Structure 1
Amino acid sequence: MRTFIAAFLSPAFLVVLSSGLALADPWIAGVTPRLVGRGVTSEITISSWRHEALEVLFYPPGIAGPNTGSISDTSMQPGIRCVGTQFDADKERLVCQLEVAEDCQPGEYPFRVLTAVGLSSMGTIHVSPFPLIEEGEANANSNDTVETALRVEPNVTVLGTLSRSAADDIDCFRVAGKAGDRLSVEVDMVKMGNDLRWNPVPDGYDSVVAVLAPSGKRIAMNDDSSLNRQDPLLSVKLPVDGDYTVVLRRSMFIPEERAYAIHIGRFFRPLAAFPPGGPAGMPLDVQFLGDPLGPVSHTVTLPQSAGTFSYIGEAPLPLSFRSSPFPNVLETPDQPETRVPATPVAVNGILAEPDETDRYRITVKKGVPLQVRVWASAIGSPVDPSIKLRPVDESGVAGAVELAADDASRPDRDIYGGQGDFPETFDPSVMWTPKQDGDYVLEIADPRGVGGPTHVYRVEIAPPVNTLHVGLSFEGYKPERPRKTSLSVPRGGTWTVRLSLYPGQGSNIKGPIDLGIEGLPPGIKMLSPQLPSLESVWPMTLVADADASLDASLIHITAQPADGGEPFVTVNQQNLQRVSYSHYPWRNIRVDRFAAAVSEPAGFALELKAPKQPLMRGSEMTIPIRVLREPGFDEAIEIQCEFAPPGVGTSPAEIIPAGESTANLTLSAAANAKLGNSPLYVMATTTQARGGRADSKVRGDTDLGSERVRVSSDIVTIQVAEPFVSLSSEPQSVRRGEKIEYRWAVKQKRPFEGRASVNMLGLPVGVTRVGPEPTIDKDSTEVAVQLAASDEALLGMVGELQCDVRFSVGNEEIQLRTGSGKLRIDPRLEK
């Protein structure tokens, strides 16, 4: 095992000198420990690892803000870096030393590891705001009773484990307190989930925490919470002086080992803030609600940019705020309605009592579309909201419901490329086009009839912002495949990725559109054909120079209208699932940028010839493919087309055997294939993982994410055009023992040179073409095919007859399948 010294390139990542052979594509099966402290250098271990590390690339944190009491944005630098790695090939593990700044914000930090064969799948590490201690310092299993509880000082994070045992493991912690003090407890267990392979994961992550008074009486307990989801969280005002016991256990016993972090202290723990948002860039007077010692008022300055942001206070888990470019209106609790002077607007209220319905009177214009989006569950509020909009008549009375909304779909909430638990989907988000000018009443309630002092909500009502969301390839309910979810480009090679393009709710985006990219590693350039219109999927090619250094960076894919079109905002989004249970992801890690890197050369390249002629609807075309092999590379290669025009079928994947270098791609255009120019490319893949070992621990291990070396061809343009001709016919008949001329009407659609041969397809047994093969030219209006029926011909009607028309264009043969005919076979006439 060797230690490597870091050469820092930027605050976001470092390069570590390395050596050794890569054994499989890098896939992070687990990280331990899952949490580190601030202001110290800590060591983490990546298990089931088979690579030297070149670089560790950290994303900005999912919850942002390095300073106490600040609102912050995820564009900040992470404040965490790797200062050395050790690769132990025998134990198959990578040990990383992480240096965490004193002011590093608490929260979860996604990262990827760069190796010679490319970027790894995503791992995460958490940062605590408090000093860390190990549960094991008090000897194994010694804190499983109130009497043997581990004594801790306030404002500490304990790293522990609920062990795998025949009986449930209970961990207890003792902390001194005085009457009137606050005791706050937060647990991270689901967030510590380390099961990243694709298999049903047994339960056991869901925990419950309780606080016992010195007398042993339970004074507080929490299982799930709206703010902390499946992980418990509580804060209590202590009734007497003495030693209190914090008890952590599973909510349901499962004999599986589960790591956790429990934060215990006197920290201020509000559960909500009111209002939960305000005008961007402006100071906002906020009341923090839900702390056992009572509300606290504070002024918060919101970021200039719009979005959801985190308030970092004393507690490990922040509160979420909205920053919006329009004014706030706060509910008037003692009035039946709150008057809203104009839109756009954000209305803010609290469903403080059970069965409460809050009402706002707004003035709108008929036919002007508005997006009505609620923020409650999405920002950690206990409210599960529903809304109704009622028009107000001339007498001032609210009428029948014009629009009602409850839960939302993921696309409604601009969530793409993810599955599982997204709290945003409990909040309505709808497009509303008012049917009349004047006043409407907006009603908001919780259909469950619950209410309370922390049941805050916010409703933003405004014209939609034209937004285009960009994602990478997504495979539902499957583990991450780093070759698809990150962009590792072989040095001197080409890599093409299918971008997914999603217009946001209410967006109207038209073409043409130009794609761009920001932040690529040195030596990589991006190539992408212009989108003629908005497409759901579009290819983007990255090309690495032959002398590009092995490097990595975070990138942002951009899009903009070409030719002065209406502008729109581009958002990058990637959702990667964590902790799957019965094929359902409990958690998702969401990042707002992608990772790109230069990896070692692939050893081969791919050449796809652009067709010289258009592909006609109803025709087939064959395009040659060539593998360019570097000296010493003689592996079998699998070729597959990954992108073709809509309505164009492609030949199945084909294996080019070792030592061979040519293949063909066959394209078949349906009669309704999309006309015009479209991009086309093929992908070449080695048939086994690079460096796969004879013990088969790597080769073909899809659960561990083992991938094969992949490169793409350049993108070529293929034109789908109308056919030269179309053929049609009326039903015709032939008797056994006779001949007929089956006549097809020829409709000229595009001129062509020379003559084309015509051959009928689908003829039944006993019916054959006789005589010379008929031909047509650009002036033909009819073609006749001579048919003969033998006594073996089956009697009755035969349908689905077609013609195969063969054209010779530029030394290429083009086959067109056209026509739909019927032929009735009748009995022989008796003499």
Structure 2
Amino acid sequence: MPQRRHMTHMICRFTAVFAVVAVSSLAHAADPRLSVVVPRGMQRGTEAVVNFRGARLKDAQEIFFYDPGIEVVKIEPAEDGNSANVTLKAAPDCRLGEHEVQVRCASGVSEFRTFWIGALPELAEQEPNNEFDKPQPITLNTTVTGIVESEDVDYFTVEAKKGQRINVEIEGLRLGTQIDSRFDPYVAILNQDRFELSVADDTPLVNQDSVASLIAPEDGRYVIQVRDGSYQGNGNCFYRMHVGEFPRPLAVYPAGGPVGQETEVTFIGDPAGALTHKVTPPADPKTPFLLIPEQNGQIAPSANPFRVSPFANVLEQEPNGEPAKASGPASPAPIALNGVLEDEKDTDFIKFAGTKGQNLRIECYARRLRTPIDPVLSIHKADGGQLAANDDNGGPDAGLDFTVPEDGEYLVGVRDHLSRSGPEYVYRVEIIPQQPELTLSIPRVQQYEQTRQQIVIPRGGRFGTLVNAARKNFGGKIVLETDRLPPGVTMIAEPMAENLSSMPVLFEAALDAPLGGFLVDLKGFKDDNREINGRFSNTADMMRYQNQEMLWTTTVDRLPVAVAEKLPYSIEIVEPKVPLVRNGSMNLKIIAKRDEGFTKPITIEFPFRPPGVGTLPNVQIPEGQNEVMYPLNADGNAQVASWKVYAVGLSDVGGMGLSASPFAKLDIADNYLNMAPERAAVVQAQPTEVYAKLEIKTPFEGTATAVLLGLPNKVVAEPVQITKDTADVRFKVTTDAESPVGRHQGLFAQVTIPLNGEEMVHRAAGVELRIDAPPPVPKEPEPKPAEPPMPVAQPDKPPEKPLSRLEQLRLEAKQRLEQGKTP
């Protein structure tokens, strides 16, 4: 489903360009949105006016296309500011299929949407065409653009001669027009007697779109029916239906080839029979290679996926349906094994050679190549004994890591999960030594949306983001770099630590930076080995089903970076002068600087949290105010280091305007002291003490204050002053006659140490306080004891240590015995 960029196919190659058209700007608008481009595509070699629909597009200045071949001639924003008419010119050799596009405004950059390029003249559907007897006439070799409404059925008619090929391919779900439109196109070709000659629903090559094909059995009129598979539909169910004599094979074998070498391939599944071509993949294996079949001057509407690898192909040799008949000879990794599950309940076995201790990645490509197979992959010893197996390794394809136990021959087994087979059941198994891999991305902040997947820097301000790095088969620090940035823009990024998978990155724009932007190639490298590298990619959700399963996604590999109009506010972190200690907390001060007249509330976020640091999702600077405290806390394992952190402000400036603070230093330190409170018990309305042993790990100057927090209702404890020489602490606790009876386990001690004019807050371990009801009053009063002698003054004694819980229990049992009660 994901579509990769920088595609090269067998027809042509290009160099990347995109168009720039300037129009007037609008100050203090922000957050442009692009919902859809209508019509959903155009014919290459032509010029067309298309409507970009969304919100806050009045200041549109530029259109970004991720691939070359489409020129922007003119941008005309509508008066309501929510759409723009854009004149586009597609080159005659523009790549067929899906193109990603987004709008750059003076105030920001929209999300990307898709726009499709076809080879055939285009014709709009004309209603009414909902009856079989009243279809819309069209000619062969035409692309029809239409919409399926609820319970809508569209009929079209074409004339064909006996023996003439009729292929129908529809783009509906793949258009990704609206994520919840759930359009599942159904296509049928019928004769004049209403007999179905070809029916298609969910053709694997085109995902859940459809391909219907036939060779006309006689001269005459043929009717094409288009509808939703469940007779649903709505105003977002757009389709592009290609009808013609073009070839439309459903698979290609082999499904890949070595870089830079001519490979003979066979296209399979077209009604006119197999089609053979010789192709030469590009020299760079990272460039996806799409084969678009062409025959008799007609070209297919879309490509057959094709893997390009820097190693040789091995083709299966039938019969190889059991281990003893496995295809050979055994080739060592890296190698690509290619086959077809053509026979009924077919299982293929192919040999490969392994060396003891080799760590191999064995990956089966089938669904990713849009073939019908749901592959099950297995690894066997030469005698057939199974060593490993996998089905659906994070998706419908299969893959596994395998460590070779001994030198020798091994077998790869491939079968379909449901034992299906056929000439289109093509697969490719790539066996390679495990290699370092790195992928960069920006985390999503909103499910199913592309929010903040674009870098929009206000003039004189900053944009902050997290960049995720997915490492595989290596460790170490990651360094970021870009191929270019807009004038006046700087990227600030510390190397990502070895144990982190996310890093904070700031982009700053000078106050006089010109409005404008680029699609930027963001790369990451291992700090001491540039051979280990990876690129940014962003996968957007385009269509989902009722169970939230994604039916269509689109991936781009460049990052939009643009300078936008200045925002009417900025934010800063007041850098703390004390560390955040383990098992401690801190209130981080955030201040806002507002332009005169701007009073809107500002939501503050703290995106990057060093390991072991937690906080709230956001806090708010109220309307008209200029500061807020952001609470941070560190657990006992927080990573001790000096970290660069930033805050993000979000406010309504005619759309959501984002401003990031400069980096501030946040030191994480080990706790200065340990405090171990002991459990205590008390009777209602009586005082008690909570004793705690104190260990000073880092001496400090001055006096710290310890308080007991989390006390139950109507229980108070006096603060205690401590110094670097204090060895233990006694919290004097007072209860009330209405203090709640029971075990209270939410108590904890907090110690605040003054340092550099600020406060460093520690939190000690929790402690339990048990509150008992007073014993019952005796039935008969006790005899009044004789007057005691006058007390003799005694010298002051140091306070006794409170009894431990065990000592208290023993004392209570002794008292009950003395009173004649059963313990």
AA partner of residue 156 (structure 1) = T
- Is the 8 Å Cα contact of residues 279 and 302 (structure 1) preserved in structure 2? yes
- Is the 8 Å Cα contact of residues 467 and 571 (structure 1) preserved in structure 2? no
- Is the 8 Å Cα contact of residues 614 and 719 (structure 1) preserved in structure 2? yes
What residue is the counterpart of 1:486 in the other structure?
454
What residue is the counterpart of 2:543 in the other structure?
579
Distance 1:762 1:250 in 2: 61
Distance 2:766 2:176 in 1: 60
Distance 1:143 1:783 in 2: 86
**Among 156, 164, 174, the residue aligned to 1:172:** 156
| Higher mean C-alpha deviation, range 303-312 or range 818-827 | 818-827
AA partner of residue 312 (structure 2) = P
Pair 1:309 & 2:289 matched: yes
What residue is the counterpart of 1:194 in the other structure?
177
Change in CA separation of 1:596 and 1:144 when aligned onto 2, cut-off 3 Å? farther
Pair 1:275 & 2:248 matched: no
Structure 1 position 804, deviation (Å): 1.9
- Is the 8 Å Cα contact of residues 146 and 245 (structure 1) preserved in structure 2? no
**Among 37, 48, 51, the residue aligned to 1:42:** 48
Pair 1:345 & 2:335 matched: yes
- Is the 8 Å Cα contact of residues 44 and 98 (structure 1) preserved in structure 2? yes
Distance 1:150 1:737 in 2: 95
- Is the 8 Å Cα contact of residues 513 and 531 (structure 1) preserved in structure 2? yes
Structure 1 position 630, deviation (Å): 2.9
Structure 1 position 828, deviation (Å): 7.5
Pair 1:126 & 2:126 matched: no
| Higher mean C-alpha deviation, range 451-460 or range 710-719 | 710-719
Pair 1:408 & 2:408 matched: no
| 1:497-519 alpha-carbon deviations (Å, 9 max, x no partner) | 1222223xxx2332222122233
Structure 1 position 27, deviation (Å): 1.3
- Is the 8 Å Cα contact of residues 16 and 53 (structure 1) preserved in structure 2? no
**Among 291, 315, 321, the residue aligned to 1:330:** 315
Change in CA separation of 1:784 and 1:475 when aligned onto 2, cut-off 3 Å? closer
What residue is the counterpart of 1:805 in the other structure?
751
Change in CA separation of 1:632 and 1:404 when aligned onto 2, cut-off 3 Å? same
**Among 776, 790, 794, the residue aligned to 2:723:** 776
Report matched runs for 1:640-719 at 5 Å: 640-650=605-615, 653-686=618-651, 688=652, 690-691=653-654, 707-719=655-667
**Among 604, 609, 628, the residue aligned to 1:639:** 604
Structure 1 position 476, deviation (Å): 6.3
- Is the 8 Å Cα contact of residues 176 and 552 (structure 2) preserved in structure 1? no
Report matched runs for 1:734-773 at 5 Å: 742-764=690-712, 768-769=716-717, 773=720
Distance 1:604 1:116 in 2: 17
- Is the 8 Å Cα contact of residues 607 and 627 (structure 1) preserved in structure 2? yes
Change in CA separation of 1:726 and 1:173 when aligned onto 2, cut-off 3 Å? same
Structure 1 position 51, deviation (Å): 2.6
Structure 1 position 652, deviation (Å): 6.2
**Among 283, 288, 301, the residue aligned to 2:267:** 288
Pair 1:259 & 2:259 matched: no
What residue is the counterpart of 1:161 in the other structure?
147
Query: Paired residues, what number?
Result: 750
What residue is the counterpart of 1:151 in the other structure?
138
Distance 1:210 1:535 in 2: 53
| 1:747-795 alpha-carbon deviations (Å, 9 max, x no partner) | 232232233232333455676546x833131x44333444556666666
What residue is the counterpart of 2:414 in the other structure?
444
The percentage of counterpart residues that share the same residue type is: 29
| 1:423-473 alpha-carbon deviations (Å, 9 max, x no partner) | xx2111222223444332211001212111121100001123311211123
| 1:200-253 alpha-carbon deviations (Å, 9 max, x no partner) | 54x5x2222222346764332212201012211133223334443333333232
- Is the 8 Å Cα contact of residues 644 and 679 (structure 1) preserved in structure 2? no
AA partner of residue 553 (structure 1) = F
Structure 1 position 568, deviation (Å): 2.1
Structure 1 position 724, deviation (Å): 0.6
Report matched runs for 1:443-522 at 5 Å: 443-475=413-445, 477-481=447-451, 484-503=452-471, 507-522=472-487
**Among 660, 672, 678, the residue aligned to 1:724:** 672
**Among 581, 589, 600, the residue aligned to 1:624:** 589
Distance 2:565 2:640 in 1: 40
Q: Does the residue aligned with 1:98 lie in a helix, a strand or coil?
A: strand
Pair 1:15 & 2:1 matched: no
AA partner of residue 153 (structure 2) = D
- Is the 8 Å Cα contact of residues 23 and 51 (structure 1) preserved in structure 2? no
What residue is the counterpart of 2:384 in the other structure?
398
| 1:610-661 alpha-carbon deviations (Å, 9 max, x no partner) | 2222211122222322212234433332223222223323356433344432
| 1:57-105 alpha-carbon deviations (Å, 9 max, x no partner) | 3343xxxxxxxxxxxxxxxx42002110212224843110001111101
Structure 1 position 548, deviation (Å): 1.2
TM-score (norm 1): 0.84
| Higher mean C-alpha deviation, range 536-545 or range 100-109 | 536-545
- Is the 8 Å Cα contact of residues 28 and 565 (structure 2) preserved in structure 1? no
What residue is the counterpart of 1:421 in the other structure?
none
- Is the 8 Å Cα contact of residues 477 and 584 (structure 1) preserved in structure 2? no
Q: Does the residue aligned with 2:662 lie in a helix, a strand or coil?
A: coil
- Is the 8 Å Cα contact of residues 223 and 230 (structure 1) preserved in structure 2? yes
Report matched runs for 1:429-440 at 5 Å: 429-440=399-410
Q: Does the residue aligned with 2:52 lie in a helix, a strand or coil?
A: strand
Structure 1 position 194, deviation (Å): 2.5
Structure 1 position 343, deviation (Å): 1.2
Pair 1:249 & 2:227 matched: yes
What residue is the counterpart of 1:602 in the other structure?
567
Distance 1:347 1:786 in 2: 78
Q: Does the residue aligned with 2:656 lie in a helix, a strand or coil?
A: coil
Change in CA separation of 1:21 and 1:666 when aligned onto 2, cut-off 3 Å? closer
Q: Does the residue aligned with 1:16 lie in a helix, a strand or coil?
A: coil
Q: Does the residue aligned with 1:292 lie in a helix, a strand or coil?
A: coil
Change in CA separation of 1:794 and 1:98 when aligned onto 2, cut-off 3 Å? closer
Change in CA separation of 1:27 and 1:630 when aligned onto 2, cut-off 3 Å? same
AA partner of residue 457 (structure 2) = V
Structure 1 position 552, deviation (Å): 1.8
Q: Does the residue aligned with 2:174 lie in a helix, a strand or coil?
A: coil
| Higher mean C-alpha deviation, range 98-107 or range 663-672 | 663-672
AA partner of residue 278 (structure 1) = G
Structure 1 position 112, deviation (Å): 0.9
Pair 1:318 & 2:303 matched: yes
Structure 1 position 45, deviation (Å): 0.9
- Is the 8 Å Cα contact of residues 466 and 502 (structure 2) preserved in structure 1? yes
Change in CA separation of 1:498 and 1:118 when aligned onto 2, cut-off 3 Å? same
Distance 2:484 2:161 in 1: 51
Structure 1 position 352, deviation (Å): 0.8
AA partner of residue 175 (structure 2) = M
Change in CA separation of 1:297 and 1:751 when aligned onto 2, cut-off 3 Å? same
Structure 1 position 23, deviation (Å): 5.6
Distance 1:224 1:789 in 2: 73
Distance 2:459 2:728 in 1: 57
